[in-house]
Amino acid sequence: PMKRTIGLYSHLDVQPAQREDGWRTDPFKLEEDEKGQMWGRGTTDDKGPALAWLWVIEIFQEMKVELPVNVVFCFESMEESGSEGLAQLIDKEASAFFADVDCWCISDFNWLG
């Protein structure tokens, strides 16, 4: 049987931040605290979720296990500016790069409402 294709969306940009905004560490340098928690701008919105998908693929490859689905990524870097150009990209690629996508997973907790 043919595998379904999952489209995965994440954004890689972040809002500006300074230590004076309340950060305990440099917001643009990933830091691990004494509890093992990671701190850095964009770790949950949205670089962490994007990286998690890549790690899943890496683990499947290391285990020499075929992914049960095909994967198509859409990573953008303009989400914090209103996703400038994203709608045009989707329209342009709907019948090309995104043509075989059966469903999308949006890795951005802000879109969950």
Q: Is 79 a catalytic residue?
A: yes
SS3 74: strand
Closest by CA position to 109, among listed 67, 47, 37, 33: 47
Q: Is 33 a catalytic residue?
A: no
Copy the structure tokens of residue 110: 């802000």
Given the residues 34, 76, 79, 108, the one annotated as active site: 79
Given the residues 13, 26, 80, 93, the one annotated as active site: 13
Copy the structure tokens of residue 103: 């469903």
Closest by CA position to 44, among listed 105, 108, 111, 106: 108
Q: Would you name the residues annotated as active-site residues?
A: 13, 79
